[in-house]
Amino acid sequence: MIKADELVLPAVAALRPYEPGKPIEEVQRELGIGEPAKLASNENPAGPSPMAVAAIKAALNDLHRYPDGSSWSLRHKIAAKHRVPAERIFMGSGSCEILNLLVYLFLRPGLNAVIAEHSFVIYQLAIAASGGAAKVVPLRPDYVFDLDAMAAAIDERTRLVFLGNPNNPTGTIYRKAEWRRFLQRVPERVVIVADEAYFEFVRDFDYPDSLEDHDGRRMLVTLRTFSKIFGLAGLRVGYAVAREDITRLLNSVRQPFNITSLGQVAVEAGMDDHEHVRRTLKINADGMAYLEREFGRMGLPFLPSQANFILVEVGDGHAVYEKLLREGVIVRPMNGYGLPRHVRVSVGLSEENRRMIAALERVLGRAAGRNPGFSKN
């Protein structure tokens, strides 16, 4: 019998499927645990916007209809928000779909994409699936992207550069001066992808908003998503802002109905829910301060984060992840990201954060001498 593996590119046969954060139902099924705290996928702990939920309920009776394949109304609304023509907005089934489509368009065997070490694994998976090569550039010692080294890594065969700002899983950002210098150095034929999935969480004033650098000459693609601060990860909606020649190509290769009808109406309503965004930012800022304080108290090294998650060094990351599972807390092990001593923890509601810290103390054996039955933390 011929194996299907023999019929595809060797790089594709060697791939392993993306491992998402462990779903709550799976932990309950496998470990019989009541209600685990899921702090593994950088989801919004405040839930979805009530305005988005109401819009979905109102649209349910039209589910027999195909969605608007051009997401006309939603796309125009996003375009107005960013003050760009609607032709420069491309809607994707999550920004992950757009990452895949960009690789599909611009990469093939013999060509390469430049990425940073310890960045979003989807970049690597998409590149490998195309048969193209990834040129992986190490981070600086402070775990920030080394944009000078990334620019230097670009060669004749480079077609794409992927930048996460903030980066997942480090939570670090690159700043305006480095970014401007990078833009000067990148040749015009290279597509620069600025993945800004955590844009709204950033507090550093020196953070560059890549939308300000669309000058019509560069091939710059800015990616944003409704999965994180807007709390709509389950709907799968993200978008790109790019030159019209790029959005036209993306539109030619996407599925005709890639954004569901419910996704379109929910995002259109949820976009305006500024109260929900404010509440989310408050939960995140408070939770982040708490986690930094507690990790500090426990002597665990962590990276200051500009996003809604934090990377913390715990020793054997995978072992700690498994022990935390048995305590009913789901975090993300980082072996797949080349960080076997770390776990990534999403900021949750305050009771979820407290539960995670208490479980981590039990797992690491640092609560010795304290009687957990009487401890209020």
Contacts to ligand PLP by CB under 6 A:
42, 94-96, 120, 164, 168, 195, 197, 225, 227-228, 233, 238
Alpha-carbon distance of 78 to 73, in angstroms, equals 9
Name the minimum Å distance from CB 72 to ligand PLP.
21
Q: Which residue has the closest beta carbon to ligand PLP?
A: 94
Q: How far apart are CA 89 and CA 250, in angstroms?
A: 10
Q: Which two tokens stand for residue 232?
A: 């709509």
- Please report which helix (H) or strand (E) contains residue 65, including its range: none
Q: How far apart are CA 53 and CA 263, in angstroms?
A: 10
Closest distance of CB 14 from ligand PLP, Å: 23
CB nearer to ligand PLP: give 97 or 294: 97
Q: Which is nearer to ligand PLP, 128 or 359 (CB)?
A: 128
What is the spatial distance between Cα 134 and Cα 111, in angstroms, rounded to a whole number? 9
Distances (CA, A) of 204 to 163, 183, 197, 275, 309: 18, 20, 16, 22, 16
Min dist. Cβ of residue 167 to ligand PLP (A) = 7
Pairing of strands 220-225, 238-241: antiparallel
Q: 118 vs 355, which CB is nearer to ligand PLP?
A: 118
> Minimum distance between the CB of residue 39 and ligand PLP, rounded to whole angstroms?
14
Q: Rounded distance, CA 244 to CA 150, Å? A: 26
DSSP 3-state percent helix, strand, coil across the chain (nearest 5) = 45, 15, 40
Taking the least distance from each CB to ligand PLP, the nearer of 95 and 264 is 95
Helix (H, G, I), strand (E, B) or coil at 37: strand
- CB 373 to ligand PLP: min, Å: 38
* CB of 228 or CB of 342, closer to ligand PLP: 228
Q: What are phi and psi of 126, to 5 degrees?
A: -65, -45
Least Å distance, CB 7 to ligand PLP, is: 29
> Closest CB to ligand PLP among 302 and 309?
309
